Amino acid sequence: MAALGTALLLGLLLPALPGLGRGLERRRPPPPPRSPLEKVAAQEELSLPQLTGRWFLVGMASRCGYLVEHSHRLEATAMTVTVLDGQSLAISTFRKLDGTCWEIRQRYLPAQAHGRFLLKGHGYGSKVDMVVGETDYSSYTILYYQKGRNISVKLYGRTSQVSDDIVDKFEQRVRAVGLSEDVTYYFPTYGFCDSVDEFHVLDETKL
């Protein structure tokens, strides 16, 4: 009788235990892996007005195949940053292509978290997430970008050359996201485009 009583008691308890006895196919799937950019902290108390103005691309870390193949042909690159609506960033990038200066205009919209922005792009897989990781506004800024699962880090300076301490800081940030010096490239410090004509403007904000 004792055995029978135990069996009846278990029969009453088991249904009340969530998930017990259910097939494996009913278990919740594991959560998707976190985006690499979620682990990157944004600049605290970021002041967008202080971020505006002209910046020169000093270095970039990325596994981008184009950089690997054309690292010997990197061109001097600069950008100007403007704040729109007090929260969006209008970024114009100036660089040469086959000896001709081009301007690429983009608009980064604010994401849900402070210091994070989104370039929507046009077409499947063209979305780019961007984080303002660190800046002192007057000499350098470190930006993180993610497209798909690929992350890249860019170092910009108010001048085309920055101090060794800033370069060291940049390389530490590069290693922290799993990149290495093998995929870190430094850009020319001369030959920047100051202006372009109307026929060499790619306005991605209107596409």
In this prediction, residue 125 has a pLDDT band, given cuts at 50, 70 and 90, of low
Least trusted range by pLDDT, from 33-37, 74-78, 86-90, 191-195: 33-37
Domain ranges of the chain: 50-192
Q: Is 36 helix (H, G, I), strand (E, B) or coil?
A: helix
In this prediction, residue 4 carries a pLDDT of 43
Task: Assess whether pLDDT exceeds 80 at residue 2.
Answer: no
Task: Assess whether pLDDT exceeds 60 at residue 3.
Answer: no
* Distances, alpha carbon 25 to alpha carbons 16, 28, 72, 94, 141, in Å: 19, 8, 52, 53, 48
Asked: is 50-192 a CATH 3.90.1150.10 domain? The reply is no
Q: How far apart are CA 174 and CA 155, in angstroms?
A: 10
In this prediction, residue 32 has a pLDDT band, given cuts at 50, 70 and 90, of low
Task: Assess whether pLDDT exceeds 50 at residue 9.
Answer: no
Task: Assess whether pLDDT exceeds 50 at residue 45.
Answer: yes
In this prediction, residue 18 carries a pLDDT of 46
Least trusted range by pLDDT, from 52-66, 118-132, 142-156: 118-132
